């Protein structure tokens, strides 16, 4: 009697241990973002388009970058924060079964100046409701204190209402990558959105290790692409001996670098470890190049002209346009509604800023 009870208890314990182990393991594989090369190449095209300054061509998806793998995309909201020189769009890619939110990098000064300033950015803002998480205020406010946040959240909600549960792909390059991450965190934590997936290109560090770990908990499905000697992912600096006080990247980095054999050069795409600061990825080289920052997968990620927040918009988009008291512009339309751009109308573009 006693013995069989003991045996049963033991058996139960074993079962518990086994199933507990399995649960933990399942959760682990669940949280491992899978790098998809094909998707990354499509998303970098979407990211290049957000650098377009001709709002008509962008809104009607007829720009030179709105072709090829991104054909058939439907923008439902284009947000231009003229005050802070920021730009983002939200739209639906039916072939990917996804809503795409794309953020542009900084355009305000020369890229060289912006990169140099990154070095000095302090961890100066406690991230709300996440004890011990700290970020640089500039990254946080560029999304939270501008027209971008209400514009993006509203558009994503509208798209979901029409198309139902789609994947939510949030992307950004450079400063736009930092905003993409902060936006994805906001959508997940404050707007209860599921299936949020982030891909960033040449993104700077945003916050400390506590922030990185909250971020990974809420937005595990994140791929952070870095390229060769791109300086920006090395900034603001990481000091491995001051883990409490230093900036810290979140995972999962994918480092693109070239291997050359004489005239034969090919690109390796290294999927890095879970730490966020894999010493064998981009950290294994000097961050010494601005040029490597501006080209990902062979795609140019910059506006035609720097140092300008020039906005060009055609008159026939007036009915889709809202301008606030500060001059910020939102172009918005219902999902499913097609805006045609005719050459004649496009020819009449006017400078509205
Ligand atoms: C990678 O992404 C592409 C484009 O969305 C998709 O067609 C393909 O099935 C994906 N591959 C894997 C292995 O998930
Ligand atoms: C938030 O934005 C407003 C308006 O642009 C500005 O006056 C204020 O200083 C900003 N706050 C922060 C903390 O950046």
Segment 124-137, tens digit of pLDDT = 999 999 999 999 99
CATH class of the domain comprising 33-351: alpha beta
Distances in Å between the Cα of 55 and the Cα atoms of 150, 187, 282, 302 are 19, 26, 35, 16
- Which residue's alpha carbon is at the smallest distance from atom 2 of ligand 1? 39
Residue 154: pLDDT above 60? yes
Residue 18: pLDDT above 80? no
Q: Is 36 in the pocket of ligand 1 (CB under 6 A)?
A: yes
% of the chain exceeding 90 in pLDDT: 63
pLDDT tier at 302 (50, 70, 90 boundaries)?
confident
Residues 99-112 have pLDDT tens digits of 999 999 887 778 88
Residue 24: pLDDT above 70? no
Q: Please give the distance, rounded to the nearest whole angstrom, from the Cα atom of residue 173 to the centre of ligand 2.
A: 23
Distances in Å between the Cα of 176 and the Cα atoms of 168, 280, 283 are 16, 25, 21
Q: Which of 336, 73, 290, 62 is nearest to 174 (CA)?
A: 290
The per-residue DSSP string of 56-110 comes to HHHHTT-STTS-GGGTT-EEEEEEEETTTTEEEEEEEEGGGTEEEEEE----SS-
Residue 353: pLDDT above 80? no
In this structure, what is the dihedral angle of CA atoms 140, 143, 145, 146, given to the nearest 10 degrees? 150
In the numeric block, which tokens belong to residue 251?
């995972």
Nearest ligand to the C-alpha atom of residue 45: 1
Residue 3: pLDDT above 70? no
pLDDT tier at 238 (50, 70, 90 boundaries)?
very high
Q: Is 185 in the pocket of ligand 1 (CB under 6 A)?
A: no
Task: Give the lowest-confidence range in 9-13, 86-90, 153-157, 307-311.
Answer: 9-13
Q: For the residues 71-81, what does the mean pLDDT come to?
A: 93
Cα 82 from Cα 198, distance rounded (Å): 25
Cα 164 from Cα 156, distance rounded (Å): 11
Nearest ligand to the C-alpha atom of residue 146: 2
Q: Indicate the pTM of the whole model.
A: 0.86
Q: Is 96 in the pocket of ligand 1 (CB under 6 A)?
A: yes
Q: What is the DSSP letter of 247?
A: B
Cα 207 from Cα 185, distance rounded (Å): 13
Q: What pLDDT does residue 17 have?
A: 40
In the numeric block, which tokens belong to residue 237?
């600096």
Q: Is 145 in the pocket of ligand 2 (CB under 6 A)?
A: yes
């Amino acid at each position: 009697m006693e013995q069989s009870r003991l045996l049963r208890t033991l058996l139960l314990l074993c079962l518990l241990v086994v199933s507990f182990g399995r649960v933990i393991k399942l959760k682990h594989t669940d949280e491992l973002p899978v790098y998809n090369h094909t998707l990354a190449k499509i998303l970098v095209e979407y990211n290049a388009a957000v650098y377009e300054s001709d709002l008509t061509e962008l809104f009607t998806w007829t720009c030179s970058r709105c072709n090829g793998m991104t054909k058939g995309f439907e923008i439902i909201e284009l947000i231009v924060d003229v005050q802070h020189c920021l730009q983002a769009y939200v739209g639906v890619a039916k072939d990917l079964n996804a809503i795409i939110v794309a953020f542009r990098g900084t355009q305000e000064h020369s890229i060289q100046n912006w990169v140099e300033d990154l070095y000095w950015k302090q961890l100066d803002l406690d991230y709300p409701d996440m004890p011990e998480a700290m970020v640089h205020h500039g990254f946080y406010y560029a999304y939270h204190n501008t027209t971008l946040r209400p514009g993006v959240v509203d558009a994503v909600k509208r798209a979901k209402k029409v198309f139902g549960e789609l994947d939510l792909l949030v992307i950004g390059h450079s400063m736009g990558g930092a905003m993409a991450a902060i936006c994805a965190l906001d959508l997940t934590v404050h707007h209860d959105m599921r299936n949020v997936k982030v891909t960033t290109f040449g993104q700077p560090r945003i916050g400390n290790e506590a922030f990185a770990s909250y971020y990974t908990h809420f937005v595990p499905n994140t791929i952070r692409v870095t390229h060769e000697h791109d300086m920006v992912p090395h900034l603001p600096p990481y000091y491995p001996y001051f883990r409490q006080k230093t900036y810290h990247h979140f995972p999962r980095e994918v480092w693109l670098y070239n291997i050359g054999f004489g005239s034969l050069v090919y690109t390796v795409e290294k999927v890095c470890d879970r730490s966020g600061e894999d010493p064998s990825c981009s950290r294994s080289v000097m961050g010494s190049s601005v040029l490597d920052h501006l080209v990902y997968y062979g795609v140019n990620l910059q506006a035609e002209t720097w140092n300008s927040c020039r906005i060009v918009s055609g008159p026939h988009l007036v009915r889709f346009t809202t301008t606030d008291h500060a001059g910020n512009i939102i172009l918005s339309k219902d999902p499913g509604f097609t805006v045609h751009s005719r050459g004649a109308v496009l020819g009449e573009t006017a400078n509205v800023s």
